[in-house]
Structure 1
Amino acid sequence: MTRRSRNMSPSRIKYMLSIKGWTYADIDREYNLPEKVAAIAARYPHAKAEKAIASVLGKKPEQIWPARYNKNGTRLKPQPAHNYREDLSVRKDQKEEAA
């Protein structure tokens, strides 16, 4: 099974949240999520946190994480295994940002 398209990178999501004046911790508090769940959802599937982040950004979750959703906008159940593995390009982006 191939990915329909790439998910938005966690660093891009964090940047977009900062523009709106939000942090992952703010989302956790505002949407009654356990601590650090919003940050984890940027990388790994978590339905409630995905909806919360998308709501803050004014987007639909499937626009941010297309690999986690069907073309009709319904969430994949169960999530494919590749959604639980960190994408190598994400780590590369992080290394470039740190440099």
Structure 2
Amino acid sequence: MPDIDQIPADPEIRRQWIKYQLKIRGASLASIAREHQVDRNILSTALKRGSPRWDYEIAKVLGLTPQKLWPERYDQNGLPIWNRQK
């Protein structure tokens, strides 16, 4: 399991870090997509914009929670934060 102190704060760097962490575990966005029978682009989009379902699946492979991996996307209770324009 990755040390959460090593998870990059910068979103772009974090995306690359996540891909690397998946790779060293023998996984990839494509393999997760195949497992769930969805297009790989759905997982790629989740890395950029977030999606509770796919955030969970990616984090699960890394042995983390979505809240630990994307603290800006989840509140202290682990619930998704939805940025709605009013």
TM-score between the two structures when normalised by the length of structure 2? 0.75
Q: Is the 8 A contact 2:30 2:40 kept in 1?
A: yes
Percentage identity across aligned positions? 31
Distance 1:48 1:27 in 2: 12
* Structure 1 residue 34 displacement after superposition: 3.2
Q: Which has the higher contact order (CA 8 A, sep 6+)?
A: 1
User: What are the equivalent positions in structure 2 for 1:41-56 lying under 5 Å apart?
Assistant: 41-56=46-61
* Structure 1 residue 7 displacement after superposition: 6.4
TM-score between the two structures when normalised by the length of structure 1? 0.66
- Unaligned runs of at least 5 residues, structure 1: 1-5, 82-99
The structure with more radius of gyration: 1
Which stretch of structure 1 is more off in the superposition, 10-19 or 28-37?
28-37
How many residues align? The count is 74
* Structure 1 residue 32 displacement after superposition: 3.0
Which stretch of structure 1 is more off in the superposition, 28-37 or 48-57?
28-37
Distance 2:72 2:10 in 1: 6
**Residue of 65, 73, 76 corresponding to 1:68:** 73
Q: Which runs of 4+ in 1 moved over 2 A?
A: 31-35
Query: What is the RMSD of the two structures over their aligned residues, measured on CA atoms?
Result: 1.7
- Unaligned runs of at least 5 residues, structure 2: 1-8
Q: Is the 8 A contact 2:29 2:40 kept in 1?
A: no
Q: What is aligned with 1:23?
A: 28
